[in-house]
Amino acid sequence: MTQLHIQHGRIIDPANKIDRVGDIYIVDGKIAALFEPPENFQADTVIDATGKVVCAGFIDLSTRLRDMGHSRKGTFKSETRAAASAGITTLCLQPDTRPAMDAASIAEYIKDLAEKANYPQIYPIAALTQKLDGVELSSMLSLKQAGCIAVSNANEPVKNLLILRRAMEYAASHDLLYICRPNDFSLSNKETIALAECLELAELTGCRVHFGQLSCKRSVIKIHQAKKYGLNVSADVAIHQLHLTENDIIPFDSAYHVLPPLRTEADKKHLRQGLANGTINSICSDHQPHDLDAKLGAFPETESGVSSLETLLPLMLKLVAKRVISLEQGIAALTHQPAQILRLPSGALTVGFSADVCIFDPELTWQINNDTWQSRGINTPFWGQTMTGRVTHTLQAGKIIFSLNN
């Protein structure tokens, strides 16, 4: 029996409406008690969290970890190490792996890679259509049975609305969450049109839909209206969209090349308001590590995406400092809310839950550079900047998977 004691930390647990200084007691990888020790408790390990925040481990709804066909950009080992250093204990892996996540055998292979990286809490998202080509439906039931937590077509549009309707009906029949990254390449990435189409089909099919990586004002308005009228939908936003706009882009700097693209100040304002008022449920990293070659060339010809696991916490804290959201709201958007979206028994410090815990110093400053960065991808527009707020310990199922001083 292993026993771990986290003492004197500011415990913030939005799921259980807790915000007070106290202790957490962990026994055999589970939360055994808060504030008062359980009977006969004798700690094997003690972590002093004085002056730090203690919360549930973060849950990231959108990541790419590379390896499969892209190991030069990142590996499960390098990227899960980055996730652990960022307080993230659960990762949702997008289906645009190589090959695409359209077969149970690929999902099983992902599990093997996760185990070898000593980071078992990686949930693959199944491909909605075979090879993500938007034409033929994947075998969603077998993918669910293989451990896939949801279905998605990643950034690829479905070829026509009838195929999308059949896919959503199939997902609904097996109670699978459909994660939609709304875009339509035939209409120059018109996010709101694709979102409106999916909302209509959600009402028609009864499918649970989560909209990933919203980027514009009209999308926030449409999601707000859909929730008002009772549709079973949720949404997230990538952390960089809450800070950067088209005005921040340095000419020819492909670190700013993201999909969806950076938009206007008005769009950023509405994304922030949507997060504050609950229209947007969660924040994700949308982590996409790239090597140098992928970001060389003319801006539109480079590959989109940023390496963003390690900036997730400090950029969330920056929103708190600017009074966009409260600290409790920010933590909820990274823990309790994504757990609810995925229907996972996690994202909270509830007694009996797996001890996925993040401990961070909200005042600690650090610079993003080669000495502090864990991800193999250094494609971030924040390179060289000084951040405030850093994780000191990360526990996954009661096991310390990251300690800042080790």
Q: Are residues 29 and 127 in the same domain?
A: no
Question: What's this model's pTM, rounded to 2 decimal places?
Answer: 0.96
Q: Which residue has the tokens 């049975």?
A: 145
Q: Are residues 123 and 267 in the same domain?
A: yes
φ/ψ bin of 321: left (φ > 0), alpha (ψ from -120 to 50), beta (otherwise):
alpha
Amino acid occupying residue 64: R
CATH, residue 24: 2.30.40.10
Domain of 112, in residue numbers? 56-342
Q: Are residues 235 and 364 in the same domain?
A: no
Do 357 and 346 meet the contact criterion of CB atoms below 8 Å apart? no
CATH, residue 107: 3.20.20.140
List the alpha helices (DSSP H) in 174-253: 191-205, 217-228
Beta bridge partners of 20: 11
At 386 the three-state DSSP class reads strand
Q: Is residue 236 part of a domain?
A: yes
Q: Total structural domains in the chain? A: 2
What's the pLDDT at 187? 47
**pLDDT of the chain, 406 residues: tens digit per residue:** 799 999 999 999 999 999 999 999 999 999 999 999 999 999 999 999 999 999 999 999 999 998 766 667 789 999 999 999 999 999 999 999 989 999 999 999 999 999 999 999 999 999 999 999 999 999 999 999 999 999 999 999 888 899 999 999 999 999 999 999 997 655 445 788 999 999 999 999 999 999 999 999 999 999 999 999 999 999 999 999 999 999 999 988 999 999 999 999 999 999 999 999 999 999 999 999 999 888 888 888 899 999 999 999 999 999 999 999 999 999 999 999 999 999 999 999 999 999 999 999 999 999 999 999 999 999 999 999 999 999 999 999 999 999 998 7
Strands 386-396 vs 58-63: parallel, antiparallel or unpaired: unpaired
Q: Is residue 229 part of a domain?
A: yes
Q: Is residue 134 part of a domain?
A: yes
What's the pLDDT at 380? 97
d(CA 128, CA 260): 20
At 165 the three-state DSSP class reads helix
Active site residue 286: yes
User: Cα 390–400–332 angle (5° rounding)?
Assistant: 50
Q: Is residue 373 part of a domain?
A: no
Q: What is the largest CA-CA distance in the chain?
A: 65
Q: Are residues 155 and 125 in the same domain?
A: yes
Q: Are residues 39 and 157 in the same domain?
A: no
Q: Is residue 374 part of a domain?
A: no
Q: Are residues 302 and 393 in the same domain?
A: no
Q: Of 286, 291, 293, 371, which one is the catalytic site residue?
A: 286
The enclosing H or E element of 6 equals: strand 3-13
What's the pLDDT at 231? 95
Q: Are residues 7 and 85 in the same domain?
A: no
Q: Is residue 86 part of a domain?
A: yes
Q: Are residues 185 and 316 in the same domain?
A: yes
Q: Are residues 298 and 205 in the same domain?
A: yes
Q: Are residues 43 and 70 in the same domain?
A: no
Do 354 and 344 meet the contact criterion of CB atoms below 8 Å apart? no
Q: Are residues 184 and 273 in the same domain?
A: yes
Q: Is residue 142 part of a domain?
A: yes
Q: Is residue 381 part of a domain?
A: no
Q: Are residues 267 and 250 in the same domain?
A: yes
φ/ψ bin of 276: left (φ > 0), alpha (ψ from -120 to 50), beta (otherwise):
alpha
DSSP readout, 288-338? ----TGGG-SSGGGSPP-B--GGGHHHHHHHHHHTTSS-HHHHHHHHTHHH
The enclosing H or E element of 403 equals: strand 399-403
